[in-house]
Amino acid sequence: MPVCPCRVAPSPAAASGADAAHCPRLLQQSFKRLQDDRPQNLCEFSGKVLLVVNTASYCGFTSQFEGLEALNARYAKRGLVVMGFPSNDFKQEDVDARKTAAVCFNTYGVKFPMFTETRVRGADANPLFAELTRATGNAPGWNFNKYLVGRDGRPIAHFGSTTSPDSRTLVNAIEAALAVR
C-alpha cells in the first residue's frame, strides 16, 4: 500500500462549481484513506463538527485511539466526525501503512476515518494541518494533537497531546460545537 504524498491538491470536484459553494475552503481537498488507499474528499464532511487528530502507532498516547473511537461513537449521530492522520513527524509511525492500519483497526477497533501517513508540521505539512496551525496558532507539538472544527469549517480550538479524549474540557467544547446549527 503506497503512502500518500505530503501535499494533496484540492480535488477538482471539491474546488469547483456548486460543491465549492457549500463546502468550506478548509475541506476543499482530498486525502487517501488508510484502509484502501482510495481518495476521500473532505467536502463529504461539510456541515459536521470535526475533531482532526495527528496520530502515531508507537507513541505513549496511542491508547487514545480507544477514547477517540468512543467519542466518535457517542457523538456521531449528532454530527461529530473524528479524523485520524498518521504522521511520522515525531518518528513514532511505521513506514508500512498495513502495520499502521492493523494498529488502528485491529488493535483499537477504530471506525472513524483514517488517512494515509502525512506530514503535519513545518513547511511540508499537508494543507489541512498547515491551515489548522495558522488558524489556531498551534502546530502539533507531538502526536495526538486535536483540532476542533465547527460545522462552518472554521477551526474552534486546539488541544495538545496530554488532553485525553474523555477530558471534560474537550467534551464540553465538542458538545458546544454540536449545539451550533
Mind listing the pLDDT tens digit for each residue in 123-177?
999 999 999 999 999 999 999 999 999 999 999 999 999 999 999 999 999 999 9
Round to whole Å and give the CA distance between 93 and 57: 5
Which residues are part of the catalytic machinery?
Answer: 59
What angle is formed at CA 22 by the lines to CA 3 and CA 171, rounded to 5 degrees? Answer: 70
Residue entry with cell 472554521:
154
pLDDT tier, 9 (very low <50, low <70, confident <90, very high otherwise):
very low
Q: Whole-number mean pLDDT of the chain?
A: 90
Q: Could you write out the three-class secondary structure of the chain?
A: CCCCCCCCCCCHHHHCHHHHHHCCHHHCCEEEECCCCCEEEHHHHCCCEEEEEEECCCCCCCCHHHHHHHHHHHHHHHCEEEEEEECCCCCCCCCCHHHHHHHHHHHCCCCCCEECCCCCCCCCCCHHHHHHHHHHCCCCCCCCCEEEECCCCCEEEEECCCCCCCCHHHHHHHHHHHHCC
Say which residue, 26 or 17, is predicted with more confidence.
Answer: 26
Strands 80-86 and 49-55: parallel
pTM for the model: 0.88
